[in-house]
A and B are shown apart, each in its own frame.
Chain A
Amino acid sequence: MDQKSDLTKKHLNANTRSSKHARAVGDFYNLRTNDFIEVYGEVIQAFRTNDIAEWLSYTLHSMGLAAHMNVLDAGCGICGPARFYAQQIQDLQITACSISEVQVEQAKELNAAAGLTERIKVQHLDYHLLSTAFPAASFDLVYFLESFGHSANQAQLLKEVYEVLREGGTLYIKDLFKAQDPDEWKQQRIDELCEDINQAYHYHIPALEVFLEAARKCGFRLEWVRIPQVNIETFEHLKISNDFQELFEVGKIETWSDYVFPIDFYEVKLIKPKSLSPADLHKYFMNQDAAV
């Protein structure tokens, strides 16, 4: 067993709420990964367009992946997106981690079959342990594709990411966030539905404002937050979600007439600011990159 696996074990054995939850997420994916694959294929994401290659290509550009980057796929699933990115961009080095042993094994097999073993290093790791597992400032970019919400301690997770990102590095998150409604009854339904989703998928759907506050407190600078810029015509038919809802018995959409959509999908891009020398401090203004 390697040192990093030991670290994960140690952390998982620690009697903290966060690590218990992480173990539960691991067990959940160990048990359910094949069900996910059956419904979603190799890209385990609820928000997607009909043409999955087109969707991944969109995220590739959206997060700003480029050649020679060293990136971290946090909560990599079976590395469907990582393989796509590695195939699209030469010299891209990806480190991928998952808390599920089953996913790690399957990802390794699929990466080997695609000849990408050297370019995608997969690890069994609780992503709350990033700063223990990797040296500080290791990555140019860290991305979470519908995996950030699995964290039961999101403020801590952001700190961990901040540690392992180099200065000027990017954190990209595409995830579901709790919807907001001015009507108190609808908001209550939203909160209940989110709770159902959280329970069924071992999730902690973040509220966008809480997430942004935590990220900014951590030191991140918000570049943008937006709805994924995809053509609505190419949006994945909800049947795929319904197939999954059926599997987990969570709010299947029977009719649109009384349906309250409990979540909003957003992609968020955050930057770890560069340190300014005392001489450059006067240059600090809204966009630091432009100032330096």
Chain B
Amino acid sequence: MVKALRMKDWRFSFIPVIFGLLYLFIYIGQGSSHPGIDIVLLLIGSLFTCFGFASFGYLLNEWADISDDAKAGKQNKLAYLSLLQRIGLLFLTLALLALPWLFLPKDTKSFILILIEISLFVVYSLPPIRVKNWLLIPNVIDALYAYVVPIYLAYHTFALHYGELLGAQQRLLLFFLLFVLGFRNILIHQINDLHFDRRSNKRTLPDFLGLQTSNQVLVAFLFTEGAVLLYFLVKVLFLGIWPFLLLLILCWIWLSRRNSIFKKPIVNQKIVYHPIRHLYDPLYQLLFPLLLLILLLQASLYWLPLLLLHLILFVPFSFVQHLVNKCRIYLSILVNYAIWLSFLMIGVDLKKRQQSALGFLGSIFQRK
């Protein structure tokens, strides 16, 4: 039943982006003070309402897609559930979405934003409007409900708690960036689903634009996003803490290499299926939140449980495992070199002798 909520589709994609920005708001608002119960409640409330919004949106979309998916031969997990189960899930997600607002900071603007978000879900998925089958509009709406509106709501909630956190220009820049990110992601999603959509007689933006133009649009979006992102990172966030910016960029390059972004040649000069189309995603989804958590930890060690919770909830286990293994390898190199150098200082070259430190010490004691 839980599979019908398609958690895998959002737990590691746009939810970590939202949380990365929540950590930014906390970092700006909190300064170097320890986290209090108020901020813990704020984070717990945000977590539940985020899960609620995401599940509700996906559930509604999946429900409205059942007949189209059947035509396209695409799997729809909700189709296997009874009507009663579907209604039960719908109420559950609505409760998850709404209940945290009993104690989260709110005002009229908060309710308007919640209403806009839910309206966008409805307009996108449900008949009679169902803009999902229109051209261009679904891309705009998707970018709005996946990134712009929820993050604006999050910003507003935290601003109610801390006071205004970003200047008007910075906010404009941030929401423009989020819109471009959202548009790019839905365009990629439509490219991936193109053949399914055709089977259900649905014509999405990339199909309408054609391969060449879609590629140009994707490239233009990547460049725009890159420029705004760079400006945002350098001027707004890390002006005074450039070593962290450097760390972020180094980790980003390492991750991009790991994801074969630079390894695979660009075929026919098109990036529509190339991993480079996801160039910035590791930055938003993985590195940016983790770096913000490190910055918070630097201010107060009380943030450690939040880092652990973030790793459990929003970082794929395979990545954590990979990271731990890498750390173990580097640590072992470090320890081994330290031992080798220590013995070298007393005139013993363990490498030349092809002996371990313990083996060498053992042989000395045996001789004695």
With a CB–CB cut-off of 8 A, which chain B residues contact A192?
Answer: 267, 273-274
Q: How large is the interface on B (under 10, 10 to 19, 20 to 34, 35 or more residues)?
A: 10 to 19
Interface digits, B168-211 against A, CB 8 Å rule (1 contact, 0 not)? 00000000000000000000000100111000000000100011
Instruction: Given A192-B267, A257-B73, A258-B196, answer yes or no on A185-B211 (Cβ-Cβ < 8 Å).
Output: yes
Residue of A nearest to B199 (CB): A257
Partner of B272, one of A188, A195, A258: A188
Instruction: Given A195-B267, A257-B74, answer yes or no on A189-B196 (Cβ-Cβ < 8 Å).
Output: no
Asked whether, in the complex, the Cβ of B211 is within 8 Å of the Cβ of A191, the reply is no
Instruction: Given A184-B210, A185-B211, answer yes or no on A191-B267 (Cβ-Cβ < 8 Å).
Output: yes
Residue of B nearest to A257 (CB): B73
Q: State A58–B265 Cα separation when bound (angstroms).
A: 38
With a CB–CB cut-off of 8 A, which chain A residues contact B257?
Answer: none
With a CB–CB cut-off of 8 A, which chain A residues contact B272?
Answer: 185, 188
Most central of B191, B194, B195, B196 by chain A CB within 10 Å? B195
Partner of B211, one of A184, A196, A257: A184
Q: How large is the interface on A (under 10, 10 to 19, 20 to 34, 35 or more residues)?
A: 10 to 19
- Whether a CB of chain A sits under 8 angstroms from the CB of B235 is no
Interface digits, B313-330 against A, CB 8 Å rule (1 contact, 0 not)? 000000000000000000
Residue of A nearest to B194 (CB): A185
- Whether a CB of chain B sits under 8 angstroms from the CB of A13 is no
With a CB–CB cut-off of 8 A, which chain A residues contact B270?
Answer: 188
Q: State A184–B196 Cα separation when bound (angstroms).
A: 16
Instruction: Given A195-B264, A199-B264, A257-B74, answer yes or no on A188-B273 (Cβ-Cβ < 8 Å).
Output: yes
Please provide the chain B residues from 267 to 302 with a CB less than 8 Å away from any CB of chain A in the complex: 267-268, 270, 272-274
Q: B70 to chain A: closest CB distance in Å?
A: 12
Asked whether, in the complex, the Cβ of B210 is within 8 Å of the Cβ of A189, the reply is no
Residue of A nearest to B214 (CB): A185
With a CB–CB cut-off of 8 A, which chain A residues contact B195?
Answer: 185-186, 258
Q: B208 to chain A: closest CB distance in Å?
A: 12
Interface digits, B63-75 against A, CB 8 Å rule (1 contact, 0 not)? 0000000000110
Q: A179 to chain B: closest CB distance in Å?
A: 14
Asked whether, in the complex, the Cβ of A188 is within 8 Å of the Cβ of B194, the reply is no
Most central of A189, A192, A196 by chain B CB within 10 Å? A192
Q: State A239–B277 Cα separation when bound (angstroms).
A: 31
Q: State A191–B266 Cα separation when bound (angstroms).
A: 10
Q: State A189–B267 Cα separation when bound (angstroms).
A: 10
Partner of B265, one of A186, A195, A257: A195
Q: State A257–B192 Cα separation when bound (angstroms).
A: 13
With a CB–CB cut-off of 8 A, which chain A residues contact B273?
Answer: 188-189, 192
Asked whether, in the complex, the Cβ of B74 is within 8 Å of the Cβ of A188, the reply is no
Please provide the chain B residues from 68 to 90 with a CB less than 8 Å away from any CB of chain A in the complex: 73-74
Please provide the chain B residues from 210 to 240 with a CB less than 8 Å away from any CB of chain A in the complex: 210-211
Q: A178 to chain B: closest CB distance in Å?
A: 11
Q: State A92–B341 Cα separation when bound (angstroms).
A: 64
With a CB–CB cut-off of 8 A, which chain A residues contact B196?
Answer: 257-258
Asked whether, in the complex, the Cβ of B210 is within 8 Å of the Cβ of A188, the reply is no
Interface digits, A245-289 against B, CB 8 Å rule (1 contact, 0 not)? 000000000000110000000000000000000000000000000
Asked whether, in the complex, the Cβ of A188 is within 8 Å of the Cβ of B211, the reply is yes
Asked whether, in the complex, the Cβ of A191 is within 8 Å of the Cβ of B194, the reply is no
Q: State A56–B291 Cα separation when bound (angstroms).
A: 59
Q: B8 to chain A: closest CB distance in Å?
A: 14
Asked whether, in the complex, the Cβ of A188 is within 8 Å of the Cβ of B73, the reply is no
Q: State A288–B191 Cα separation when bound (angstroms).
A: 51
Residue of B nearest to A249 (CB): B260
Please provide the chain A residues from 131 to 189 with a CB less than 8 Å away from any CB of chain B in the complex: 184-186, 188-189
Q: State A258–B197 Cα separation when bound (angstroms).
A: 11
Q: State A165–B227 Cα separation when bound (angstroms).
A: 59
Asked whether, in the complex, the Cβ of B268 is within 8 Å of the Cβ of A191, the reply is yes
Q: B189 to chain A: closest CB distance in Å?
A: 13
Residue of B nearest to A259 (CB): B195
With a CB–CB cut-off of 8 A, which chain B residues contact A186?
Answer: 195
With a CB–CB cut-off of 8 A, which chain A residues contact B210?
Answer: 184
Q: State A191–B210 Cα separation when bound (angstroms).
A: 17
With a CB–CB cut-off of 8 A, which chain B residues contact A188?
Answer: 211, 267-268, 270, 272-273
Q: State A257–B195 Cα separation when bound (angstroms).
A: 9
A-B contact pairs, 25 of them (CB 8 A): A184-B210, A184-B211, A185-B191, A185-B194, A185-B195, A185-B206, A185-B272, A188-B211, A188-B267, A188-B268, A188-B272, A188-B273, A189-B273, A191-B267, A191-B268, A192-B267, A192-B273, A192-B274, A195-B264, A195-B265, A195-B267, A199-B263, A257-B74, A257-B196, A258-B196
Listed in ascending order, the chain B residues whose CB lies under 8 Å from chain A are 73-74, 191, 194-196, 206, 210-211, 263-265, 267-268, 270, 272-274
Question: What 5 additional pairs, Cβ within 8 angstroms, besides A188-B211, A192-B274, A257-B196?
Answer: A185-B206, A185-B211, A188-B267, A192-B267, A257-B74
